[in-house]
Amino acid sequence: MPEKILADRYRLVERIDRGGTAEVWRARDLRLDRDVAVKVLGVEADPAFRERFTTEARRAAAVSHPHVVAIFDEGQDGNDAFIVMEDVRGRTLRDIVAERGAIPIPEVATLVGQIAGALDATHRAGLVHLDVKPANVIVDQAGNAKLTDFGIARAARDSEERELVGTARYIAPERIAGRPVTARADVYGLALVAYELLAGQPAFAGAENEDLLRDRLERGAPHPRAVRPSIPEKVDAVVAKGLAREPDERYATAGAFARALSDAANDETEVLRPIAAAAPRPRARPRPDTLLALGLVLVLLLGVVLFFARFPSTAGSGTTPTPDAAHTTPNVIGQELTAAANALIAAGYRSPIPWTIDPQSKDKACSVISQQPAPGTSVQAGSTASLVIAPGNCTKK
């Protein structure tokens, strides 16, 4: 399909993903002169898949959020149905975990917070995503997570599904049991993503078959701490609650889960737990010759100090200490805009700190709901940071 032009407008340039009966291409919008991503459905797709493909475009376009991949267009060119999307240059969380393994807890809290914002916007639009997994989250070059692939999303008011579609290890228990599906199914999916980022492996590994689905119904919530013992107990408990088998026992919203995870990650009492002291060794009495040697060393040190004390200090000569090359990015999520911006500037970021408003957010007015770069990462002096905040009268003081 190289150099093929769809609908006399979208020139396919490079295939960037392939799965099932669909392919995703990087393309050029010849009319608006911009790069886009185009998801193309092949001729081998059955009628049910084609109907779901068209529904995906319509439902995904109904969700507008900074952390949702935007839908620009959809159409048909001969036997090829296609969806035109925002071109996000980055990698999926699946690929990042495969390369890095377990992710630092502050970074996990930031990513989960971004995905939660996207899911809450999805639920406000009356949709349930139903396929929340690391492969469906793209992290761009600035560290922003973007939720994509609404291929099996459906309206929250729909009472039945015609078939059980999705990746087995990420399907919520109530879907397996054929029970009504709510937004808490996506909370379960988000908790599975958090588990995988924290532990460096899926919560439910192994072959994707009926045994895996049955195991989901019979087993209790898995604990990432069982795989990575360094995870604080409070973080482990938050993830376990998000993975509760009964939907009513989970967090009510994705945002509530993300806030609980962030609070647990920032709880210093979990990080600074006391370490048991080693048993004291019996003290030996010093020998006389050891005391004599120690006395001679002290006399020599005193002589050196007195010798250099005669020379003037170099303070004020114009020589200044070299500052550290990098600082640690503070976690400012939940803080008021001015305080958050000042904290980032104090850490070495360039002033002023740019910020945007998420009109969909229900968080406290002017509070930070996501930040870039992620907390805990190193920052070179003079580099830039950005914030996404809840709506309100947010002029920085």
Reduced to 3 states (helix: H, G, I; strand: E, B; else coil), residue 31 is coil
Per-residue pLDDT at 304 exceeds 60: no
Residue 278: the pLDDT is 32
Residue with tokens 């990462």: 377
Of 83, 142, 151, give the one whose Cα is nearest residue 111. Answer: 142
Strand blocks (E) in the chain: 5-6, 10-19, 22-29, 34-41, 71-77, 80-86, 90-92, 127-128, 137-140, 145-147, 154-155, 326-328, 355-357, 368-372, 378-380, 386-389
Averaged pLDDT, 352-374 = 77
Residue 45: the pLDDT is 72
Contact 167, 176 (CB under 8 A): no
Lowest mean pLDDT among 154-163, 193-202, 336-345: 154-163
Give the containing element (helix H, strand E) for 233: helix 233-242
Residue 239 pLDDT grade (very low, low, confident, very high; cuts 50, 70, 90): very high
Averaged pLDDT, 13-36 = 89
User: What is the rounded CA–CA span in Å between residue 72 and residue 7?
Assistant: 14
Lowest mean pLDDT among 45-49, 127-131, 359-363: 359-363
The Cα diameter of the chain in Å comes to 99
Task: Give me the helix-helix angle, 105-124 and 254-265, nearest 10°.
Answer: 160
Q: Taking all residues of the chain, what is their mean pLDDT, rounded to a whole number?
A: 80
Per-residue pLDDT at 184 exceeds 50: yes
> Comparing 51 with 325, which gets the higher pLDDT?
51
Lowest mean pLDDT among 90-99, 294-303, 351-360: 294-303
pLDDT tens, position by position, 255-267 = 999 999 999 999 7
Cα separation values, 296 from 17, 115, 304, 308, 368, Å: 74, 66, 13, 19, 61
Per-residue pLDDT at 288 exceeds 60: no
Contact 345, 383 (CB under 8 A): no
For the purposes of burial, counting CB atoms within 10 Å of the CB of 160, is it exposed (0-12), middle (13-18) or buried (19 or more)? exposed
Beta bridge partners of 145: 139
Averaged pLDDT, 359-387 = 77
- Cβ neighbours of residue 287 under 8 Å, at least 6 residues apart? none
User: What is the rounded CA–CA span in Å between residue 239 and residue 246?
Assistant: 14
> Comparing 183 with 165, which gets the higher pLDDT?
183
User: What is the rounded CA–CA span in Å between residue 372 and residue 382?
Assistant: 15
User: What is the rounded CA–CA span in Å between residue 259 and residue 184?
Assistant: 15
Cα separation values, 293 from 289, 301, 305, Å: 6, 13, 19
Terminal C-alpha separation, the chain? 54
Cα separation values, 303 from 289, 298, 299, Å: 22, 9, 6
Domains and CATH numbers, the chain: 5-86 (3.30.200.20), 90-157+166-270 (1.10.510.10), 326-389 (3.30.10.20)
Residue 274: the pLDDT is 34
Tokens of 385: 């940071």
Residue 392 pLDDT grade (very low, low, confident, very high; cuts 50, 70, 90): confident
Residue 166 pLDDT grade (very low, low, confident, very high; cuts 50, 70, 90): low
Residues with a known catalytic role:
131
Contact 374, 96 (CB under 8 A): no
pLDDT tens, position by position, 268-279 = 444 433 323 333
User: What is the rounded CA–CA span in Å between residue 352 and residue 355?
Assistant: 9
Residue 151: the pLDDT is 73
Of 366, 373, 375, 379, give the one whose Cα is nearest residue 335. Answer: 366
Give the containing element (helix H, strand E) for 30: none
In DSSP notation, 300-356 reads: HHHHHHHHHHTSPP-TTSS--PPPPSEEEPP--TTSBHHHHHHHHHHTTPPSSPPEE
Averaged pLDDT, 367-377 = 80
Reduced to 3 states (helix: H, G, I; strand: E, B; else coil), residue 60 is helix
> Comparing 27 with 51, which gets the higher pLDDT?
27
pTM: 0.65
Of 357, 339, 354, give the one whose Cα is nearest residue 393. Answer: 357
Residue 69: the pLDDT is 94
